[in-house]
Structure 1
């Protein structure tokens, strides 16, 4: 399936649509994300389109050299105080990495999740209960922060799915406007603030769920090593691929609205 293209003009109605914290329910999850990073690659739109259902198309962006590209991101972090609304006194901590692509569904911007690596026995809950494409992994984080500044970040992930190595050093430079975007607001909204995600369930059906988080205050980072098995096996990156951008933030709070729903 070839990639369909669209105008690079931004969704002006979406810019500045950062919403205040909503009320969460008994089944919703609240968690504090530590050592949060977004490692983004610019990939060929046609290559990404081959891995998307017909209802979805890659969102595309034009880089400074004139190339039209699609974007995919690996998003690692450590969950702390992961808890359901009906049992706030039961809390868990674990490592997690989400693998996603920036797409359009019926004209609206969203993200497509290839899957998630989770370093926890509880991975069976989303796998079995909601048929989410989540996979067990062993993750080792080594990080050092001074205030909001990341001095050292190392992640090693082992498992049958989602092996990864990441080493980076933070900078004092705020995210700002990244290549392919019109300005900082568009960068923040599209790259760092997707609230609706879609995925292929383990039973073959399509599913969707939504999240909330406040506007992120990310800083740029310099990458020393970055390899993600998921993207390499999909043919989107190689061992020598250089990320489009790497962003980090020491902590932020997320709400995941559950249960996820089949897409009808």
Structure 2
């Protein structure tokens, strides 16, 4: 296997999902590593970074987007659109980089399939996106999510500044690999077992954004952020293609 995560587009199978992600955002918070570690199982530990002010931190991100033309390989003519937000932390699993998924909110009745067939920690929600773009620049972006799990508020405006190297990373490459390109994910299934699945996407071309409001109930309920927490960084991209390799499997 190549040591680089930025691989050419693979061939997908009949069970795999291909989807276009629109209004894609990564809202990242710097959190205390010890607080994050309390939510991880054995063999997982927070990956830590040192900010310019000397603080040692771990990172967690909320990743909202709109699925467009969500389709399975065996039935590409059936296509679905829906809102989605993934909640993840950047960790090490037996020394290797990975992401830990706390869960996903999905604005679609199809949420019951991953919940019950594959026991994924996915939750129903009502999501309202309002995004305006001029070319690749995000002029404004609003998200409001309601539900028993995953309530969120997000307001931001984009810039034309590329992601570059964000605080805490050695260089732009490390930043891209850690924050934007985790391909292997782990999570607690709804039956309490560990699970894993993998994805593919091309290298993202993200731009920095300025946040006006950001609150995520998932992180607050875990004790990782508060209502006053300010994101470490916010990145946006108008669209990108993802492949999700299915089925997910118990670890």
Alignment TM class, shorter chain as reference:
over 0.9
Higher-strand-fraction structure = 2
Measured in 1, the distance between the counterparts of 2:152 and 2:5 equals 33
CA contact under 8 A between 1:14 and 1:189: conserved in structure 2? no
1:84 and 2:72 matched? yes
Q: 1:26 aligns with which of 7, 14, 19?
A: 14
Measured in 2, the distance between the counterparts of 1:86 and 1:58 equals 38
Measured in 2, the distance between the counterparts of 1:152 and 1:236 equals 27
Measured in 1, the distance between the counterparts of 2:2 and 2:223 equals 31
Q: Which residue of 1 aligns with 2:131?
A: 143
Where 2:140 maps in the other structure, the secondary structure is strand
Q: Which residue of 2 aligns with 1:103?
A: 91
Query: Gapped runs of 5+ residues in structure 2?
Result: none
Q: Structure 1's 14 and 39: CA in aligned 2 closer, same or farther, altered over 3 A?
A: farther
Q: How many residues align?
A: 251
Q: Deviations over 1:154-208 (max 9, x none)?
A: 0000000000000000001000000111111111111100000000000000000
Where 2:76 maps in the other structure, the secondary structure is coil
Q: Which residue of 1 aligns with 2:195?
A: 207
Where 2:92 maps in the other structure, the secondary structure is strand
1:194 and 2:179 matched? no
Query: Gapped runs of 5+ residues in structure 1?
Result: 1-12
1:74 and 2:47 matched? no
- TM-score if structure 1 supplies the norm length? 0.94
1:171 and 2:155 matched? no
Q: Which residue of 1 aligns with 2:141?
A: 153
Structural RMSD (CA): 1.1
CA contact under 8 A between 2:128 and 2:145: conserved in structure 1? yes
Q: Structure 1's 74 and 36: CA in aligned 2 closer, same or farther, altered over 3 A?
A: same
Measured in 2, the distance between the counterparts of 1:89 and 1:17 equals 30
- TM-score if structure 2 supplies the norm length? 0.99
Where in structure 1 do 4 or more consecutive aligned residues deviate above 6 Å?
none
